[in-house]
């Protein structure tokens, strides 16, 4: 059984509208990234309580904190970022979220990411150390312009750090935007460490994000393989159908519904049980 979740902030900046749409679609979880135009990590205590109360009243839980941890330049001071990581853990605990999404640092466009391997691993190990023993798992998302953009480097990260507190989330569209055929070039290498899915697709021709199964991301092949291998976890809609940028994206209510319908269609046609 797969559990649907999603970045509800792509529906609206208003949390109440986010809740209205996802509950109408029958979801029981969201991936909490922003509300009221603020990162979840920047909400003050009153706003955090307001958000928790609204989610509780709607019967919604948080699958993951959609944090921007690791989305700083590799040359930036990591000290303040470690403090932000600790705060992210506190926020995840507050929402009883089992996961926090993280990234592996922006690499200058004109530099080889492999030249920064040791520094990235050192920084990532420091982030992971904070999570160890908390019961919260950090999930690294493959993303363009960071160190862990392609399958080989994603694999290197989890193997080098070798901690149960660090796993992978899988994003077909992001691999396409890095010139990777996700299933053909990444599934066998990464699937043993994938515990969470970010649901979107994309086209090679123009890197535009499209609904699940409508792009070049070998989306059906990937989902079919995860199901065959016994994946049971969260599949989180991240449509990016209207605006996509380095720190997130936006789709609007109707596009979010369209993305949900496309993914559900794939699940139904592939015979994958979901809730």
121 contacts 95 by C-beta, under 8 angstroms? no
207 contacts 216 by C-beta, under 8 angstroms? no
CA-CA distance, 252 to 19, in Å (whole number)?
Answer: 13
Q: What percentage of the chain carries pLDDT values higher than 70?
A: 97
Residue 64 has pLDDT above 70, yes or no: yes
Q: What radius of gyration, in Å, describes the C-alpha atoms of the chain?
A: 17
pTM (predicted TM-score): 0.96
Q: Report the number of secondary-structure helices (H) and strands (E) in the chain.
A: 9, 14
Average pLDDT over residues 242-250: 56
**Least confident among 24-38, 123-137, 209-223, 228-242:** 228-242
pLDDT score at 243: 58
* CA neighbor of 40 nearest in space, from 257, 247, 255, 250: 247
Number of residues assigned to the chain? 275
């Amino acid at each position: 059984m797969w559990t649907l979740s999603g970045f509800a902030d792509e529906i609206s900046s208003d949390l109440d509208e986010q809740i209205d749409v996802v509950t109408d679609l029958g979801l029981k979880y969201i991936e909490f990234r922003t509300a009221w135009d603020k990162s979840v990590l920047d909400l003050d205590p009153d706003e955090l309580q307001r958000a928790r109360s609204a989610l509780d009243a709607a019967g919604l839980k948080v699958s993951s904190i959609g944090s921007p941890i690791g989305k700083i330049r590799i040359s930036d001071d990591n000290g303040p970022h470690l403090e932000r990581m600790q705060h992210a853990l506190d926020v995840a605990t507050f929402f009883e979220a089992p996961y926090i999404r993280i990234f592996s640092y922006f690499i200058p466009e004109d530099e080889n990411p492999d030249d920064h391997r040791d520094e990235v691993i050192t920084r990532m190990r420091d982030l992971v150390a904070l999570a160890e023993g908390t019961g919260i798992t950090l999930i690294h998302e493959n993303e363009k312009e960071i160190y862990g953009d392609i399958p080989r480097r994603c694999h290197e990260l989890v193997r080098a750090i070798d901690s149960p507190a660090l796993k992978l989330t899988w994003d077909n569209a992001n691999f396409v935007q890095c010139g990777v055929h996700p299933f053909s070039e990444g599934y066998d290498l990464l699937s043993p460490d994938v515990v969470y899915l970010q649901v979107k697709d994309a086209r090679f021709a123009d890197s535009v994000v499209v609904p699940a199964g409508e792009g070049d991301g070998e989306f059906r092949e990937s989902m079919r393989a995860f199901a065959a291998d016994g994946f049971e976890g969260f599949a989180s809609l991240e449509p990016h159908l209207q605006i996509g940028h380095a720190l997130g994206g936006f789709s609007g209510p109707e596009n979010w519904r369209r993305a949900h319908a496309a993914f559900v269609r794939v699940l139904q046609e592939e015979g994958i049980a979901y809730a």
